[in-house]
């Protein structure tokens, strides 16, 4: 059995960055559902949180998991679940694009804190500003 710890910080937004996830209660319900569903699919979520129009997830990938497949499973199932349960006033969709960046073991605490403090963080910074910073930090610019 191989011993693998590959941490990925995922960020993905709602379609057109619409603020569908507009209450803390709805967000908590969704994060809990995503965690439960991920566990059933052997996806190890280390930390999850987000804001009104996006989600951050820190995941440790398994040996047979790919970034693409994990995103497909999480985003596809969660949007289906939101719509099936009529949790939004209109049809809910995640945007196709997403960010995925590797995280070293020494930076896990910092990334967890960053994800945990999304409500505070977005009192002073828009998702677009956050997105631009991530793209620059990971040299996607």
Q: What is the 3-state secondary structure (H, E, C) of the chain?
A: CCCCCEEEEEEEEEHHHCCCCCCHHHHHHHHHHHHHHHHHCCCEEEEEEEECCEEEEEEEECCCCCHHHHHHHHHHHHHHHHHHCCCCCCCCCECCCCEEEEECHHHHHHHHHHHHCHHHHCCCCCHHHHHHHHHHHCCCC
CATH of the domain at 102: 3.30.70.1290
**pLDDT confidence of residue 141:** 65
Domain that holds residue 115: 6-137
Is 24 part of a structural domain of the chain? Answer: yes
Task: Tell me the C-alpha distance between 50 and 75, whole Å.
Answer: 14
- For Cα atoms 98, 99, 105, give the angle at the middle one, nearest 5 degrees: 140
pTM tops 0.85, yes or no: yes
Is 118 part of a structural domain of the chain? Answer: yes
Total domains in the fold of the chain: 1
Spans of the chain, pLDDT less than 50: none
Each residue of 83-97: pLDDT tens digit? 999 999 899 999 999
**pLDDT confidence of residue 134:** 75
């Amino acid at each position: 059995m191989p011993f693998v710890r590959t941490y990925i910080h995922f960020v993905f937004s709602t379609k057109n960055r619409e603020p569908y996830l507009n209450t803390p209660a709805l967000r908590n319900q969704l994060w809990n559902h995503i965690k439960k569903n991920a566990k059933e699919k052997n996806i190890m979520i280390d930390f999850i949180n987000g804001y009104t129009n996006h989600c951050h997830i820190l995941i440790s990938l398994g040996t047979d998991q790919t970034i693409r497949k994990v995103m497909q499973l999480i985003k596809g199932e969660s949007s289906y679940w939101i719509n099936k349960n009529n949790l939004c006033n209109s049809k809910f969709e995640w945007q196709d694009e997403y960010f995925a960046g590797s995280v070293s073991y020494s930076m896990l605490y910092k990334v967890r804190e960053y994800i945990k403090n999304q409500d505070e963080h977005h009192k002073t910074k828009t998702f677009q500003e956050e997105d631009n910073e991530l793209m620059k930090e990971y040299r996607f610019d």
